Amino acid sequence: MTNPFRTARAEVLAVWLLATVPAPLLFFEWTHRWEEDPTVAPALWWPVLASPVLAAVLAAGQPRRRGPTGVALAVAVSTLVTAVLLGTSLAFFRWVAPLTGDARWERALLGGLALAVVGALLGYAAGGRLAHRARPVSRRGYLVGCLAVVFGALLAQSAVRFGAEGSTVGQPPTEYGGTGPYAVPDGRVTVPAAGTYAIFRVGYARAGADCRLTGAGATVRADDPVSVPPGDYGGDAATFSWVASVRLPAAGSWAMSCRSTEPDASYVLGDEPRIRGAVGRLIHWPVGVIWLFGALPGLLIGADTARRRRADRRPGGTGFVDGPARPDEVAGGGAVGAPGSVVAGS
């Protein structure tokens, strides 16, 4: 059996990011009621438990070296790379999307590293049983890269949305009125003070509605859209999603109107949710930028495939060597009988 881990570096990175960043948030969303908020401690189990698997895969792809020094070097390299990626995933849940609850960050990091050492030892031992030979680079990497681009872009947006919902602190936003069938009275809001307020869509109303408020001798338009609307801000009667912000120059009563392609769409005005961490700013970024960040692992897979295929097409290279090859394969850079190889009796 050949060793597939020698060249799957970009694929390993993509799988790691998928399994340790959006996967915990999506799993919680699918397995809990909408009014329950995710906590940070269960989310940290995902990267910690994935650390030995990552270290094993990395160690299985390390070059074979004789003696204890070779084993120690392979384990050290695999553990170091695992530590960097583990720290990246932990940093996401500490500074980017700091979920509610308490967590023992040092214990999570040290526990993940200890498991990584064990995984690296097992992976290096298993990798020694796999054959390493020259083989051509297929176009399958392009397909894998395209799939990773699509899923990565979509999951990045989901990670930002669910991360923002889980990082919201404080009481539910106070409603000051709105427009549509849900609002009573329709089209009137009363705010207690001048300041910035949030516009929420009710249910599945369109996010990009053109909302305006008229009062105090002025007409104000909601010009700060939320590109990735976090939800779960309502109550039992309806679910709210934060879609925009508007700054009102004065307190008092305002007339509110929202133009939407849906005649029964409802929108309400309320306090801005308080979202901790960098995700509170990420929800205002253009969706295309968030998609690009999510697509980066897939783009790396495609670029790595193209690089290895170019190296494969160079003179004397009919196969990409992923490990020690037989002498008859190395002789001319190809398989037995290939042009330039040494064959007995030639």
pLDDT digits 0-9 by tens, 38-51 = 899 999 999 999 99
pTM beyond 0.85: no
Residue 291 near residue 110, CB atoms below 8 Å: no
The residue with greater pLDDT, 184 or 295, is 295
Q: For all residues of the chain together, what is the average pLDDT?
A: 85
From the number of C-beta atoms within 10 Å of its C-beta (0-12, 13-18, 19+), residue 346 rates as: exposed
Task: Locate the domains of the chain by residue range.
Answer: 4-167+285-330, 170-275
Distance from first CA to last CA of the chain, Å, rounded? 31
pLDDT score for 138: 76
Cα 337 → chain centroid: 47
Q: What is the per-residue pLDDT across 119-159, written as a single tens digit (0 to 9) for each?
A: 999 999 888 776 555 566 778 889 999 999 999 999 999 99
* 226 pLDDT above the threshold of 90: yes
**Does position 333 have pLDDT exceeding 70, yes or no?**
no
